[in-house]
Structure 1
Amino acid sequence: MLAILTRFINQKSNKISSAAMIVAFFGLISRLFGLWRDRLLAGQFGAGQELDIYYAAFRIPDLVYNLLIIGAVSSVFIPVFHEYLTKNREDAWKFAGNTLNILFITLIALSAILIFLAPILVYLVAPGFDAAARNLTVNISRILLLSPLLMGISAMAAALLQAFSRFLITSLAPIFYNIGIISGIIFLVPRFGIWGLAYGVILGALFHFLIQVPALFGIGFKFSFGFNFKEVGIIKIIKLWFPRTLGLFAFQINDVIMTAIASLLSSGSITIYNFADNLRWVP
């Protein structure tokens, strides 16, 4: 049984067609889990102020994730890492460790700044909220800012696995992310209310990372503790990241503006907008 599980975790996709099928299939499954998650949210809270607060609070960490993690790790790190890998595997692991350390410290520093600036940012994201709703949104957003830290590490793990053609396990990670949130809705929300939903997001981010850990060590990952901001690969990532981020920023700022406008409308408008937006991504 253990041998079967090990083979499953370390399964390699050598053909582009098989990799594409795996990503597409599990991507669809993840979207279906997302629909189930939204259905549970609608049943638990309805389209009202509580979910408005949650979605407004989520906008800040989501912005960090999309601009810094997706912009830098998912689209830029892999080709640079692959260049190292084709030359010297030991240097490639050192570069990966250096990138991971820099990313983690950057996320910690950025999260600390955003936690401090949360009252101002929440006012910009949801200007239509009253004082009580705004204060709760600030506190929820501070909890949710833990998720980019976990998702940043997880994105690095996924990038390394994809560089070694391990697409199966990385495709499962978003499903486990949704499972964490769904677990929060079912088990934590009845006890902690909207806070339980925030805890579920953190649980989902943790699941997203942990499911990839065995496969990560299966490819021979070696962690090295060190910081070298002047490394050629790091400089290259930064140069490639800026133009990529500009395009993502334009897309993300649209969501911020829509959330701000929805906060000025009747209660539940932010929730309805997010439900509709999530539905848009389902094939």
Structure 2
Amino acid sequence: VFTKLLLIKKERAWHLTNNIVNILGIILIIISLILFILAPHFMRFLVPGFDPEKIKSVIDLTRIMLLSPILLGLSSVVSAALQSLKSFFIYALTPIMYNIGIIIGALLFVPLWGINGLAYGVVLGAVLHLAIQIPTLVHHGFKYQPILQWKDNNVLEIGRLLIPRTMGLAVGQLNFLVITILASTLTVGSLTIFNLANNLQYFPIGIIGFSFAVAAFPTLSKFVAERKQDELINHLSKTIRQILFFIIPATLVFLLLRAQIVRIVLGSGQFDWDATIATGNTLAFFALSLTAQCMIPLLARGFYALHDTWVPFKIAFVSVLINIIFSLLLKDLLGVSGLALAFSIAATFQATALWITLRKKIGTLRELDILQTVFKISFAAIVMGIVTQLVKTKLGSSMDLTSFWRVATQGFVAGALGLITYIGICFVLKVEELFELIGSFKRKWLKLTNIPVEISEVDDV
């Protein structure tokens, strides 16, 4: 809707943006106030395994974090506008800023305010999520206005389009609610470990999965509108291969260096080695589905481009049921790690179901091209993993890992040498995605230095 108005008249698009921001802001504030008041009542239901003192702590945490949905809701409107304006880079930074806020909370706020510091970190992350986008939006011409028109036709149209996606979000929240209840019945600290590992795993998903999906969506929609089926298929297949090029080695890094990652980010203050290891093991089970989780945003947007929002919702609903069932089966066997494994099983199902149904809808996703790419990058990633593990083990046996900087050095050196190995092997194997990445950096460098591309190409010859 915003894109359509943008083509007609930019002022009308900004009018709609202001209207949505104000309406959504009012709705979210009212909901947050209601939840703030009722928090003591529903928290006793959400965390039945907690004693009264812990329930009080959870209530305090919840009330602090109720600021976060308001900020993230407003930020989502800004994000949608920036995507329509093709400002993908800034949007891609938002999950990074959100995680930076959480990390600051864990490292700086927890020593000052205890466990509430994590909640303040979440709020800070939401503030950064919104704040980083505002300068770019203003640069494009946005000016805030106190517009409030509930019956505006464009607002009503947006409401109709959002129904299935809103239902999908509601199902996701129901899933989170059930997992929270189950985690609270496990050993002390299980809920905290689950949430921390979950936040860490979303770092590569946000940078890789969502960034590529968001950047691809306008092009996919354009090809659908122009009825260019082959171009649609090619762009989907190409984007899938680009995601795999990044997420497969990232998965190995998270599996092999999970303890180092957790220790660097969270291993201070109240987080001892036992908590670090437990969080790292939970993170490892999450990491098993990083590829699937990065596929889901792109495949879902393939349906959205085809004006089908119901199929992704139905698949998401079934995946939530699968997650709940496996969580119940695995929680007593594996503890909090079982909840992460159940999550990965459900995510893998969701990605697979989306892939199969989208393939039936458009005919093919050029699977042969994808398999050829997967074979090459998997080989490179395996060698990278061997190098990373050898370097990690060697450094671990030759240095004392009781300090933050030594753990950071071990993780950085092992990861860096592994990454260099991966890039080198991909170069030798002539992995197309690597050369596309090099070409992209080259074009941006030439643009920054104002060197004509034609001159550079002649020099290369």
Q: TM-score range by the shorter chain?
A: 0.5 to 0.7
Q: Would the alpha carbon gap of residues 137 and 173 (structure 1) be closer, same or farther in structure 2, given more than 3 Å must change?
A: same
What's the counterpart of residue 209 of structure 2?
69
Deviates more, 1:142-151 or 1:124-133: 124-133
2:193·2:275 contact (CA, 8 Å) conserved in 1?
Answer: yes
Give the counterpart of 2:250 among 100, 103, 110. 110
Q: CA deviation at 1:159?
A: 1.4
What's the counterpart of residue 354 of structure 2?
212
| TM norm structure 2 | 0.43
Q: Would the alpha carbon gap of residues 71 and 182 (structure 1) be closer, same or farther in structure 2, given more than 3 Å must change?
A: same
**Residues 137-152 of structure 1 aligned to structure 2 (within 5 Å):** 137-152=279-294
1:69·1:152 contact (CA, 8 Å) conserved in 2?
Answer: yes
**Residues 95-106 of structure 1 aligned to structure 2 (within 5 Å):** 95-106=235-246
TM-superposition CA deviations, 1:20-66 (whole Å, max 9, x none): 22222343343234323322332x226x2223222222222111112
2:179·2:339 contact (CA, 8 Å) conserved in 1?
Answer: no
Distance in 2, Cα, partners of 1:145 & 1:189: 18
Deviates more, 1:218-227 or 1:102-111: 218-227
Distance in 2, Cα, partners of 1:91 & 1:231: 18
Give the counterpart of 2:329 among 187, 199, 203. 187
Q: CA deviation at 1:202?
A: 0.8
Deviates more, 1:173-182 or 1:143-152: 173-182
What's the counterpart of residue 246 of structure 1?
none
Q: CA deviation at 1:87?
A: 6.5
Q: CA deviation at 1:189?
A: 1.1
Q: CA deviation at 1:235?
A: 5.5
- 1:59 equivalent in alignment to 2:214: no
Amino acid at match of 1:23: R
Distance in 2, Cα, partners of 1:148 & 1:52: 21
Distance in 1, Cα, partners of 2:440 & 2:310: 30
SS in 1 for 2:332: helix
**Residues 1-283 of structure 1 aligned to structure 2 (within 5 Å):** 18-42=160-184, 44-45=185-186, 48-73=188-213, 75-85=214-224, 86=226, 88-127=228-267, 128-224=270-366, 225=369, 228-229=432-433
Amino acid at match of 1:67: I
2:330·2:342 contact (CA, 8 Å) conserved in 1?
Answer: yes
Distance in 2, Cα, partners of 1:29 & 1:143: 22
Q: CA deviation at 1:161?
A: 0.9
Q: Structure 2: which 5+ residue stretches go unaligned?
A: 1-156, 374-431, 445-461
Distance in 2, Cα, partners of 1:131 & 1:193: 18
Amino acid at match of 2:286: L
SS in 2 for 1:97: helix
SS in 2 for 1:45: coil
1:53·1:136 contact (CA, 8 Å) conserved in 2?
Answer: yes
Identity across the alignment (%): 15
TM-superposition CA deviations, 1:92-112 (whole Å, max 9, x none): 212211111121121001222
Amino acid at match of 2:240: L
Distance in 2, Cα, partners of 1:221 & 1:79: 21
Distance in 1, Cα, partners of 2:346 & 2:186: 19
Distance in 2, Cα, partners of 1:200 & 1:144: 9
Q: Would the alpha carbon gap of residues 176 and 37 (structure 1) be closer, same or farther in structure 2, given more than 3 Å must change?
A: farther
Distance in 2, Cα, partners of 1:125 & 1:174: 31
SS in 1 for 2:362: coil
Q: CA deviation at 1:215?
A: 2.8
Amino acid at match of 1:45: L
Distance in 1, Cα, partners of 2:282 & 2:174: 26
Distance in 2, Cα, partners of 1:58 & 1:218: 32
1:81·1:95 contact (CA, 8 Å) conserved in 2?
Answer: yes
Amino acid at match of 1:188: L
Amino acid at match of 2:172: S
2:293·2:347 contact (CA, 8 Å) conserved in 1?
Answer: yes
Amino acid at match of 1:139: N
Q: Would the alpha carbon gap of residues 21 and 51 (structure 1) be closer, same or farther in structure 2, given more than 3 Å must change?
A: closer
TM-superposition CA deviations, 1:185-215 (whole Å, max 9, x none): 2111122222321210111212322342443
Deviates more, 1:174-183 or 1:202-211: 174-183
Amino acid at match of 2:354: Q
Q: CA deviation at 1:178?
A: 2.9
2:262·2:279 contact (CA, 8 Å) conserved in 1?
Answer: yes
SS in 2 for 1:212: helix
